[in-house]
Amino acid sequence: MLEWRLSDEPIKEDEDEELKDENVRKNYKCKIFLGYTSNLISSGLRETIKFLVKNKLVDCIVTTAGGVEEDFIKCLAPTYMGDFHVDDKSYRKNGLNRIGNMVVPNDNYCKFEDWIMPIFDEMWKE
């Protein structure tokens, strides 16, 4: 798919005139769209997706904003790099949460709620 060009295909009788030009056909490439749900970033595919984009192996990304609260939480207070293979029970006992390989202190969620609740209250009034 990465190597495909329109010039690999035979010219059809009903082809647009512009697309019959061999130089145009050689430069006409496949567009690759990568679609994923936001939880894949937290689940450990962040570096894989970064590699695909950095190496121009995809042309367009389509994703959801389902985990947008995690992005806000990371902006409001420190989040730490951890590991995918940890004892979650001991994290929890120490007031820590794991999102993939990221470690988020409980207080970060409190800060998020303190920030977002007044916004929700204003929205409710409107």
Q: Indicate the pLDDT class of residue 64, thresholds 50, 70 and 90.
A: confident
What DSSP character marks residue 23?
A: H
Q: Report the share of the chain in percent with pLDDT over 90.
A: 44
pLDDT at 60: 93
Q: What is the pLDDT of residue 5?
A: 87
pLDDT over threshold 90, residue 62:
yes
Q: What is the pLDDT of residue 66?
A: 75
User: Left, alpha or beta for 94 (phi > 0: left; psi -120 to 50: alpha)?
Assistant: alpha
Tell me what pLDDT residue 109 has.
93
pTM, two decimal places: 0.58
Closest CA to 88 of 80, 79, 99: 99
